[in-house]
Amino acid sequence: MYMKKLLSFAFVCLSLSLSAQTPCSGGTAGPYPCDGYDLQSEISLGVMNASDGNDSWGWTDPSNGNEYAIVGLDNGTAFIDINNPTNPIYLGKLPTHTSSSTWRDIKVYSNHAFVVSEAGGHGMQVFDLTRLRNVTSPPVTFTEDAHFDGFGSAHNIVINEDTGYAYPVGASNFNGGPIFINIQDPQNPTAEGGYGMDSYSHDAQIITYCGPDPDYNGREILIGSNENEVIIADITDKSNPINISSVGYPNTSYTHQGWFTEDQSFFILGDEIDEIDNGFNTRTIIFDLSDLDNPSLSFEYLGPTAAIDHNGYTRGTKYYMANYRAGLRVIDVTDIASGSIVEEGFFDTYPNNDNASFSGAWSVYPYFDSGNIVISDINRGFILVKASTYENTPPTAVCGTTTISLDENGVATLNPADLDGGSTDNAGDTYFLVCDKFFDCSELGANTVELEVYDDFGNRDFCSGTVNVIDELAPILTCPTNAEVEFDAGQSFYTLPDYVTLGEVTANDNCTTGLSITQDPAAGTQLPQGNHFITFESTDNSGNIGTCMFQVAVEAPLNIEENDLNSGLILYPNPVSNHITVSSKNTPITSLQIVDILGKQLLNVGSISVKTKTIDVSQFIDGIYFIIVNNQISKKIIKN
């Protein structure tokens, strides 16, 4: 009888772990140290009949918006109705497929949960989450709706909800790299290969890329935390995954897990053992991934405690990190591009201490619209918290119209903020994302683009704006250098050739191909003696006009006297800055004129008879000029 009463008392105590909201006040919420985060409720491991907690995820019922926490346990997966966050309902457990294990991981796609574990022979369990709508007498023991046995144990599972693929990692298949499983029909998963080039992946994030690197826009990109490095791969083609690059960092102990910022420019990583190995405080490592082919270490952040970092996820301008004995730590990453992040709050689920040991908060799930954050704790099970000042009203997205110009390569990149037409948020700043931000010549004119507007808490709204893509760059024409020619044989003129047909004049444009080029004077024109300017023009499809020009000096055949003068002429220095000397070895210099490239006379020296004459050209602007000696011989000079 005494034992029966004792057990009843114990059950009451366990049930009482489903607690009402406890505000964070004076630095604590009940027994938990905190800063800016309130305790909503908690459910102990005893209530869920488990010894240890591990991973967690969440599901929002699309039919009614109800929210459910999914918590990994050593012996199965727990499902908790948190629609009333201060009075959650433990609905029941999906038991492990084989045996108990410290490691279990869950992700969600198309209203189904996909569960893997390091338990031997576990494979992947598939559970239809819509069954949670109709639990009448909780807690119940659930059964799996499907099972995939294409692998045994796996450490983790990643899902890209855009493509409908699940990627178990840390299995024996493909050297521990991701296994490709098509789950577009959730209860009929199909294997489609895998990727083992970079060996064991402890964890990964797989996305349909719309970050700042135009080379991979729209591709399915894997960012793997691979024990001793971060690897980047293109897995769009499941039959031909491609390694892109990898990046390391100092004091590597165990490259554990990371997550992109909202704009996919930076990757925030945790190394699970570096605090133990090196003795520094919690280290968060930030990589610049704006160029996926050339990733780089951006900076490191050291937190205020010695605790070990574990899983972390980004939402809005905040990075939510499970920090083992330091609990949930929330880091503001607003200024990450400037090399600065800062802790803005926490909820410590392990009040005893913040030592670097493997106990406390395993993972967090911060993606519920309500703002409720699931903490799955190794020792305490399920804990639900919420920011004391959380605001869940989405911003109001207002789009405008903007114009961007194609560059010399025929491409242009939209700055998302330029499409904003006055978006607002009732609680603070707004931030902007677009996936369709790279444009080329095929998109000249008006383009409709969706703008994603989000606030600090990750609430978001969408609108459509107009991006006018224009080409303002004229074709670039290349002309030959100035030329000196003589009359046609037996004629008193020079027949102008077709320089375009000869390939001596070319035109290139950033957008238009097959450009036509006009020549003026036209080919076949008979040019008399003198200086003539030949002009070329080309117009692209946007109406931009490019030109180039060169000079043809037509000379009559030299007579004996002119040949004698020409053979003995020396000009120096050429190019010239201040003074140029003309020296004639054979014939006296009787006159000198200087004309510009258009034939305008700028200087005339006559009534002389000298063998050498120095002329001051310092007053001339830099350019090409011609010096005419004795009204017979013309020589080009360059002023610089």
Find the mean pLDDT for residues 425-435: 94
Q: Are 430 and 458 in contact (CB under 8 A)?
A: no
The CATH number of residue 507's host domain is 2.60.40.10
Please give the Cα distance from 220 to 210 (Å, whole number).
10
pLDDT of 564 reads 73
At residue 74, what are phi and psi to the nearest 5 degrees? -60, -30
Q: How many domains does the structure of the chain reveal?
A: 3
Report the distance separating Cα 88 and Cα 202, nearest Å.
Answer: 32
Q: Distance (Å, rounded) from C-alpha 515 to C-alpha 592?
A: 43
Cis peptide before 394 (omega within 30 of 0): no
Q: Are 593 and 548 found together in one domain? A: no
By three-state DSSP, how is residue 267 classified?
A: strand
Mean pLDDT of 526-533: 90
Among 414, 446, 470, identify where a domain stops. 470
Q: Is 463 helix (H, G, I), strand (E, B) or coil?
A: strand
Q: In 3D, which of 560, 559, 561, 534 has the Cα closest to residue 548?
A: 534
Is residue 34 included in any domain, yes or no?
no
| Residue 20 pLDDT | 66
Q: Stretch 487-506: mean pLDDT, rounded?
A: 94
550 and 564 fall within a common domain: no
pLDDT, tens digit, 9 for 90 and up, residues 345-403:
999 999 999 999 999 999 999 999 999 999 999 999 999 999 999 999 999 999 999 99
Co-location of 455 and 428 in the same domain: yes
| Cα 423 to Cα 427: distance, rounded to the nearest angstrom | 12
415 located within any domain: yes
Compute the CA torsion angle 321, 326, 332, 333 (nearest 10 deg): -50
Q: Averaged over 5-19, what is the pLDDT?
A: 38
Higher pLDDT, 484 or 30: 30
What does the alpha-carbon distance between residue 214 and residue 127 come to, in Å, rounded to a whole number? 38
- Write the pLDDT tens digit of every residue in 294-316: 999 999 999 999 999 999 999 99
Q: Which residues pair with 77 in a beta bridge?
A: 72, 94
Instruction: Band the pLDDT of 18: cuts 50, 70, 90.
Output: very low
Q: Radius of gyration over alpha carbons of the chain, in Å?
A: 38
Same domain, 498 and 433: no
Beta-strand runs (E) in 348-400: 361-365, 373-377, 381-387
Provide, rounded to the nearest whole percent, the portion of the chain with pLDDT above 90.
88
Find the Cα–Cα–Cα–Cα dihedral 220, 223, 226, 231, rounded to 10°.
90
Where a domain ends, among 433, 452, 470?
470
Q: Which of 485, 520, 555 is the last residue of a domain?
A: 555
**Alpha-carbon distance 485 to 478, whole Å?**
20
Residue 21's Cβ-side half-sphere holds a number of Cα atoms within 13 Å equal to: 14
HSE-up (13 A, CA, CB side) for residue 369:
13
Q: Is residue 432 part of a domain?
A: yes
Identify the helix (H) or strand (E) that includes residue 598: none
Query: Is the Cβ–Cβ distance between 639 and 623 less than 8 Å?
Result: yes
Q: With contact defined as beta carbons under 8 Å apart, do 450 and 425 qualify?
A: no
Q: Which of 41, 37, 20, 40 is nearest to 28 (CA)?
A: 37
Does residue 385 fall inside a structural domain?
A: no
586 and 621 both lie in a single domain: yes
pLDDT tens for each residue of 214-238 = 999 999 999 999 999 999 999 999 9
Looking at residue 17, its pLDDT comes to: 43
Supply the pLDDT for residue 2.
32
Domain membership of residue 499 as a residue range: 476-555
Instruction: Give pTM, 2 decimals.
Output: 0.85
Q: How far apart are CA 88 and CA 64, in angstroms?
A: 17
**Six-digit token string for 215:** 């080379």
pLDDT of amino acid 7: 34
Q: Are strands 381-387 and 28-29 parallel, antiparallel or unpaired?
A: unpaired
Report the candidate in 316, 319, 360 with the shortest Cα–Cα distance to residue 341: 319
Assign residue 457 the CATH number of its domain: 2.60.40
Other C-beta atoms within 10 Å of 335: how many? Answer: 11
In the predicted model, is pLDDT for residue 5 greater than 50? no
Task: Provide mean pLDDT across the span 418-443.
Answer: 96
pLDDT for 10 equals 36
User: Is it true that the peptide bond before 85 is cis, omega within 30 degrees of 0?
Assistant: no
